Structure 1
Amino acid sequence: MNQPFIIPTINTNENGISVFEDIDFSVQQRGGLFISDQIGAQNFRLRKSDVGYATDFHLAGDATFISIQKGSLKIEMQNGDFKIFNPGDCFIAKDNLPENIEFDSEIHGHKASVVGNESLQAIHIKL
């Protein structure tokens, strides 16, 4: 029996605009646990960012699974939509543009900032 396993994802819509989308990585019961099919990964990195860290609008480039270990990370879209990810939360950043569209920081991408009074610690897994 499949069980939903929803992961918030930063994706690019048909107009090249970064948007939040929930992706279902359904899991199946196997020997007393629920687990997904294998998902290929290339590498992982450990991340730390200080309180007050913030980026300009940018694209993910390579698809990356991010798991928050400590602190809180706010991800904001160009239209003002945002989500705050806390310890135990995860998301995938995979917004990118086709080669024929040039990045415009007034239109494309998302930005990230550490919020609250605790530094951020996260794991980045390149997919």
Structure 2
Amino acid sequence: MSDTLDHTLYFTQVRLVTGADGRACWEEAQIPLDQGKPQARLSALMASGGFQLRESPVGFRSDFHCTGEPQWLFVIGGAMEIGLQDGSTRVFLPGDHFYSADVLPAGATFDAKVHGHCSRQLGQVPLRTLFVRA
């Protein structure tokens, strides 16, 4: 930590992960913003494996699936709903993000009634997202 920073701030990382029971669930982690200057606090530099942009048309929806490889997802435009096996949903709007890491457990065969999440576009504006591979 730089001596110009008198206390550490954190960025809350919303994470979609695979729980011990093999089901997707939400959790939060704190990323320290312990670098930079008081006017612009930064996290440590994180590696990435590239990025992709996606546009999903009005009416888009996916079946239950697991994340292939962990990645950040940032909503650039429109609205996105993520559904979990327990019936809960969470909506993400422009500027919102989450870290998608609900991968299929090692040795498991995908079961659409147990694993993963589903997603859909909401409203009358196409969904635009940015995926950044971890």
Q: What is the TM-score when the length of structure 1 is the normalising length?
A: 0.95
2:28 paired residue among 17, 22, 33: 22
Q: How far is 1:99 from its partner?
A: 2.5
1:59 aligns with 2:87: no
- Partner AA of 1:6 in structure 2: T
Q: Identify the range of structure 1 (31-40 vs 114-123) with the bigger mean alpha-carbon deviation.
A: 31-40
Q: Identify the range of structure 1 (51-60 vs 98-107) with the bigger mean alpha-carbon deviation.
A: 98-107
2:57 paired residue among 46, 50, 58: 50
Identity %: 28
Structure 1: tracts of 5 or more residues without a match = none
Structure 2: tracts of 5 or more residues without a match = 1-6
| 2:3 counterpart residue number | none
| Aligned CA-pair RMSD | 1.1
1:9 aligns with 2:38: no
Structure-1 separation of matches of 2:85 and 2:60: 18
1:88 aligns with 2:95: yes
1:35 paired residue among 38, 42, 46: 42
1:78 paired residue among 74, 85, 98: 85
Runs of 4+ in 1 over 2 A off after TM superposition: none
- Partner AA of 2:69 in structure 1: D
Q: How far is 1:29 from its partner?
A: 4.7
- Partner AA of 1:28 in structure 2: D
Structure-2 separation of matches of 1:91 and 1:30: 23
Q: Deviations over 1:48-71 (max 9, x none)?
A: 000110000000110010111100
C-alpha contact 2:70 2:100 (8 A) present in aligned 1: yes
Structure index of larger Rg: 2
- Partner AA of 1:106 in structure 2: K
